[in-house]
């Protein structure tokens, strides 16, 4: 089972699409093991997006992600990292495939609603950064109907 970090970005919260997006993750079979609504500090935003520090859009991206509260969470499930990335779709909402979160709800490169970790290394780094207190371990009754181990 993998863990992956999701961030429902300020546009998602402000557009009141958080429940809609979370419903898609739950319906897929992913389990929430961490979740909180927070106002992100500039320092945390810059750490999270450190790999993009030299990009021309970096300043705007930091303003965007700190421009309103976000809901940050950790999802658990079989192949959770790639499953979430596939549910999100391409970075540019205008090009993302219909049926994906970005393809259905975003028409922007920046305001694309949700972040998902892109690799096991990123997931480990991001979960430690956003959830230093750790996540919750629990069982969901009947989970073998969702994933049988194969």
Q: Which of 3, 48, 52, 115 is catalytic?
A: 115
CA proximity to 76, closest of 6, 141, 150 = 6
User: β-pairing, 70-77 with 114-116?
Assistant: unpaired
C-beta closer to ligand IDP: residue 12 or 22: 12
Number of residues that make up the chain:
150
Q: Verify binding: residue 61, ligand IDP, rule CB under 6 A.
A: yes
68: buried, middle or exposed (CB in 10 Å: 19+, 13-18, 0-12)? middle
Residue 42 interacts with, from ligand IDP, Mg ion, none (CB under 5-8 Å by kind)? none
C-beta closer to ligand IDP: residue 86 or 143: 86
Least distance to ligand IDP, CB of residue 37, Å = 19
Residue 66 interacts with, from Mg ion, ligand IDP, none (CB under 5-8 Å by kind)? none
Q: Are 21 and 88 in contact (CB under 8 A)?
A: no
Q: Are 136 and 31 in contact (CB under 8 A)?
A: no
Q: Verify binding: residue 104, ligand IDP, rule CB under 6 A.
A: no
At 123 the three-state DSSP class reads helix
Q: Verify binding: residue 78, ligand IDP, rule CB under 6 A.
A: no
Of 4, 66, 100, 112, the residue at the interface with ligand IDP (CB under 6 A) is 112
Q: Are 27 and 98 in contact (CB under 8 A)?
A: no
Least distance to Mg ion, CB of residue 118, Å = 5
Helix 80-88 vs helix 18-28: crossing angle, to nearest 10: 130
Residue nearest to Mg ion (CB): 118
**Is residue 3 annotated as a catalytic residue, yes or no?**
no
By the criterion CB under 6 A, which residues form the site for ligand IDP? 52, 57, 61, 91, 109-110, 112, 115, 118
């Amino acid at each position: 089972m993998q863990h992956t970090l999701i961030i429902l970005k300020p546009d998602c919260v402000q557009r009141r699409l958080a429940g809609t997006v979370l419903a898609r993750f739950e319906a897929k079979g992913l389990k929430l093991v961490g979740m909180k609504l927070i106002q992100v500090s500039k320092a945390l935003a810059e750490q999270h997006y450190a790999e993009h520090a030299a990009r021309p859009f970096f300043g705007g991206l930091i303003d965007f992600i700190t421009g309103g509260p976000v809901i940050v969470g950790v999802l658990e499930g079989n192949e959770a990292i790639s499953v979430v990335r596939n549910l999100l779709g391409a970075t540019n909402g205008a090009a993302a495939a219909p049926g994906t979160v970005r393809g259905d709800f975003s028409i922007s490169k920046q305001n694309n609603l949700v972040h998902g970790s892109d690799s096991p290394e990123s997931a480990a780094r991001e979960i430690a950064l956003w959830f230093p207190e750790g996540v919750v371990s629990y069982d969901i009754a009947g989970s073998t109907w969702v994933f049988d181990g194969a």
